[in-house]
Amino acid sequence: MSDYLDGLNDIQHQAVTDINGPVLVVAGPGSGKTRVLTYRIAYLIQQGVNPRSILALTFTNKAAHEMKGRIEKVVGTTANMVWAGTFHSIFARLLRVDAPLIGYPSNFTIYDTDDAKSLINTIVKDLGLDKNTYAAGNILSRISGAKSQIITAEEYVSNATLRDQDAVVGLPHFAEIYKRYAARMKKAGAMDFDDLLLQLYILLNDFPEVLDKYRRRFAYVLVDEFQDTNTLQYGIIKKLVKYNGSKYNVCVVGDDAQSIYAFRGATIENILNFETDFPMLKTYKLEQNYRSIDTIVQAANEVISHNRKQIKKTIWTDRAEGPGINLLRALNDNEEAKRVVDAILEQKNRIHLRNSEIAILYRTNAQSRIFEEYLRRYNISYRVYGGMSFYQRKEVKDLLAYFKLSANPYDDESLKRIINFPRRGIGDATIEGLRQIAVDNDISMWDVLQSDIPQVKSKKAVTDFTKMIQVFIKKLTELNAYDLAMMIARQSGVLDEYKKENSIDALARVENLNALLDGVKEFVENDEATPDEDTTSDKSLATYLQTIMLLTDADKESQDSEVVTLMSVHSAKGLEFKSVFVTGVEEKLFPSWMSYDVPDGIEEERRLFYVAITRAETHLTLSYANSRYRFGKLTYCEPSRFLDELSMIKTQLHAVPQSSAQQLSGVSGNFRPVKMLEKKNLVVDGVDFKVSPPDMVKEGAKVLHLKFGEGIVKKVEGGAGNRVATIYFKDVDDPERRIMLKFAKLQVLS
């Protein structure tokens, strides 16, 4: 029965079999954390502990199911008797029994996020407050934050300091909203997700007999991913296990170096100060990494050593050193994506990695756009893990619908999508009426809008919408793609619609919209020509749409398991791949600019970087761009401070020589040697830059380019309006560039 223990190392074995008293298992990445947790529960059962007296708390249903499955393989179906599940599912189960004691029915309703936002909007309206100032998403986030700190609505209202802070940020009525929200939720017999925790805490705090019941029931409490707990979750755990006469049979498993959810209320202090709450604590450090090669493990150790707040440990592995860490330095984000995909092709062809063994990680979801585009161009199957493909995201589709309608007003599907987004008082009945008129007369809905439509309740709103689209259509031939795209984004109200909610989700949506607009800007300002490119193409919004729609037509999520995975670093936690690309490793991106003014913000970003690099088993590639478009402006990017913290990058920088890459049979793409890490600014200061007329660009001329720096014109070919210059730029990795003079930004120096 105990054969399963034979596969454990010494520390793992101790962590599994030392079942009495408080235990902290500090589990480094790839150290067998899940095995230790599940085997510990199995061992408890084998030692005669009643499985019904074991409480195991996780953060995901997937983790809970996997846990039960592994336990069952050892002890059989008795594993199903263990109280194993997420915090929310287990606590909801407990609340169903005793909810009447705190004024809720046993069959209370659970409100999802949309339900909660709807109630907040109603309250804001009832109070006569501005819905933009008191945006539902932001208010719900603040309520959630208060609950995670165990601050009830009543306590919030009576706390003058908190109310003063609300006034400073322009939300003086937040406390009243929170109070009414809590009251109406209770009246409706409903709880939101945070209430499932807060109300249980209140129940255990106010009714000692209930608390005593669960203390007697749960003889052993285990918590997975303890570093991700917030104050409220830990508060409940302490109530269950910390009391006079307790045997303190609590085991928490986690890694302080992977605490990355502060934005959700998680506090690293829980794991750092666990020994303070439980002085008899026994700590086991799982330091052997079974996932990664030594080079990656040592890099991870080196990075995290710069954090002040941590439990000291040294991760090690007996896996051979293997390949070094690759660093890709690109001129801009477009080139970064191309070089990453080139490298993927090389790994697939030279060392025969499968798509499923490769992952591209990024700090923000908005970064996925350019990588998706290049993967499609190279016909490499991919999936966006934990989210939608860039061009399938709602906010992106909303703005694209405006673009498409402006280029083709007879696109009924786009029209229906945006005629009342943002909301302008055009109801479903009106939209259906317009559609029916179009069907009955065999015309488009746009034709209906431009005709003398019958009197409808929202006729003015319909007329205003029509006039706005007419302006966009008129500007289609007058403005380039970017100028018109910005005009549409602003005048349509789409940007403001997502900006007004100051929530995490809303900020991500705004980032995606800006990424789309930056893509348009890049399209307009790209003056390079390739041999297979139509050099006479214009820079209109219609042409841009044609370009991206050719890509997005193939944007069907592959059902094939053999796909390259794209994901944010947050989504990658707990996963592993043979080859990992960590992209956008730049200041203000990774670490995020939002972390600069937050206490310990950089330390959290460093933990996030630690998580990113430890996803890799054998091949790790870091990449950054010297410049990228942000908010429509080409900006210079500094390499991340985290790169400076990796000394081995400077001495163990590896790249496939160009000659080797060229010899690879069947490999497409441009493989270039990677240069040593250097903080070289290749972006020209535009203050004194003056664009010269295209006819001044001649063979032998010395020119200056905003992105590529100084160059010598080697050749000029093509007729008037269609001239292409071949220019040698000495300071870039790929020095010979073909520039379309029609769109060129060149200053002739001599």
Q: Do 218 and 81 meet the contact criterion of CB atoms below 8 Å apart? A: no
Omega prior to 172 cis, within 30 of 0: no
Residue 54 pairs with which residues in a beta bridge?
A: 220
Yes or no: say if 343 and 622 are a contact pair by the CB < 8 Å rule.
no
- Rounded CA separation 543/545 (Å): 5
Tell me how far apart the alpha carbons of residues 18 and 41 are, in angstroms, rounded to a whole number: 11
Q: Which helix (H) or strand (E) holds 25?
A: strand 23-27
What is the number of other CB atoms lying within 10 angstroms of the CB of residue 152?
17
Contact assessment for residue 608 and residue 570, using Cβ atoms and an 8 Å cutoff = yes
Identify whether the C-beta of residue 326 lies closer than 8 Å to the C-beta of residue 622. yes
- Cα(311)–Cα(308) distance, rounded to whole angstroms? 9
Phi and psi at residue 346, to the nearest 5°: -65, -45
Give the phi and the psi of residue 595 in degrees, each rounded to 5: -85, -10
Q: Which residues pair with 568 in a beta bridge?
A: 362
Which tokens hold the place of 273?
A: 């100060």
Tokens of 395: 């906010």
Q: Catalytic amino acids? A: 33-34, 224-225, 258, 615
Cα Rg for the chain, rounded, in angstroms? 29
Q: Contact at 8 Å (CB) between 605 and 257? A: no
Say how far residue 40 (Cα) sits from the centre of its chain. Answer: 33
Asked if 707 and 684 count as a contact pair (C-beta separation under 8 A), the reply is yes
Write phi, then psi, for 91 (nearest 5 degrees).
Answer: -70, -35
Spell out the long-range contacts of 97-101 with Cβ–Cβ below 8 A and sequence spacing 24 or more. Answer: 98/203, 98/207, 98/210, 99/199, 99/203, 101/203, 101/206, 101/207, 101/210
Distance, CA of 261 to CA of 237 (rounded, Å): 19
Strand partners for 713: 727
For residue 281, what are its two tokens? 């604590």
* Cis? peptide before 735, omega within 30° of 0: no
What's the gap between Cα 44 and its chain centre?
38
**Longest distance between any two alpha carbons in the chain, whole Å:** 92
CA distance 376 to 368: 12
